[in-house]
Chains A and B, each alone.
Chain A
């Protein structure tokens, strides 16, 4: 069985069964696309109860990425995947949504870095036509921010945001991979207005960052996979070029959502709960 999805303008084909069908339908449904050529492809060979022995027995060690005869293999506890072609993974998995999300992350990173794009650890919020990214590691406050989002802010997701350069500037899109918000992501995209590196605080303060500080923080919030020097160089280049093209801020934010007043469009006043 094959399914097609579109994420950040990239078309994904998924062949094979995912056991958690209801969850898959809920989380990936908004991203469904028509049948046709794909930029990314996952072939899933689900094995009920699959556990990657190399990982379970500790044989994968600290290096779950193995390059042999020019072909990368990725070892995770819930899947073993081989990169059989550019943007094409073949995987034995436990058939869970978590495994599919893991595979998708790898494919997105592979494809985005080639296009000078990034997969950010960021919540995405659309305000008007533009996208605001709230970036940060787990625990920084992305999900809390999404839970307090006001009615004029459309939440695209609380976990990952695709960022890609286009002729008219940087754009960002939501992805199906969501965090603790535990509700479907939104495939909407738009011009990236800003990246705010969010952190918990007792006050709400937004401070502009210079390019170097932006790059430093972007590198920390970008999904990297160790596919060798050339791929790492692409990721670094994408971080540097993104840092030079986007307005970025350090955002100290209270956990009650009151920081949203800093983002309110001019025709809105007050902060919803």
Chain B
């Protein structure tokens, strides 16, 4: 799986949390600290492994747990149209 920010989103980090506006304007999403970290990583296309590795280096978390959370994050934001996901790169 490879993914990247949807280039049509607008976003801004405020006090450590990213606020992301989808292209349609409605349903602004606020990300927590880890979500903001991931969001800032994926300004260019990344693989799931890339992101998990960075999360484990930055936060005290086991790789399996990081992967699980990262997949959930990608599914959630992807479902909201905030990410461009390439499943064929699994």
Contact = CB atoms under 8 A, between A and B. Distances in A.
B19 to A, nearest CB: 6
Contacts of B19: 215-216, 219, 236, 239-240
A229 B7 contact: yes
Nearest to B15: A212
A215 B25 CA distance: 16
A228 B25 CA distance: 8
B26 interface: yes
Closest 10 CB pairs of A and B: A233-B10, A226-B25, A232-B10, A212-B15, A224-B25, A232-B21, A226-B24, A219-B28, A236-B12, A229-B8
A122 interface: no
Contacts of A211: 14-15
Contacts of B7: 229
Contacts of B30: 216
B47 interface: no
Given A216-B30, A219-B28, A229 B14 contact: no
Interface residues of A, number: 23
A63 B8 contact: no
Contacts of B9: 229, 232
A224 B26 contact: yes
Contacts of B49: none
Contact of B25 (A212, A216, A225, A237): A225
Most buried by A among B7, B11, B16, B28: B28
Interface of A: 63, 210-212, 215-216, 219-220, 224-230, 232-233, 235-237, 239-240, 243
Contacts of A63: 24
Given A211-B15, A215-B14, A229-B8, A236 B24 contact: no
A272 B44 CA distance: 59
A226 B21 CA distance: 10
A210 B11 contact: no
Contacts of A237: 12
B23 A212 contact: no
Given A212-B14, A215-B14, A229-B9, 13 more contacts: A210-B15, A212-B16, A212-B17, A215-B19, A216-B30, A224-B26, A226-B26, A229-B23, A230-B10, A233-B10, A233-B21, A236-B12, A236-B28
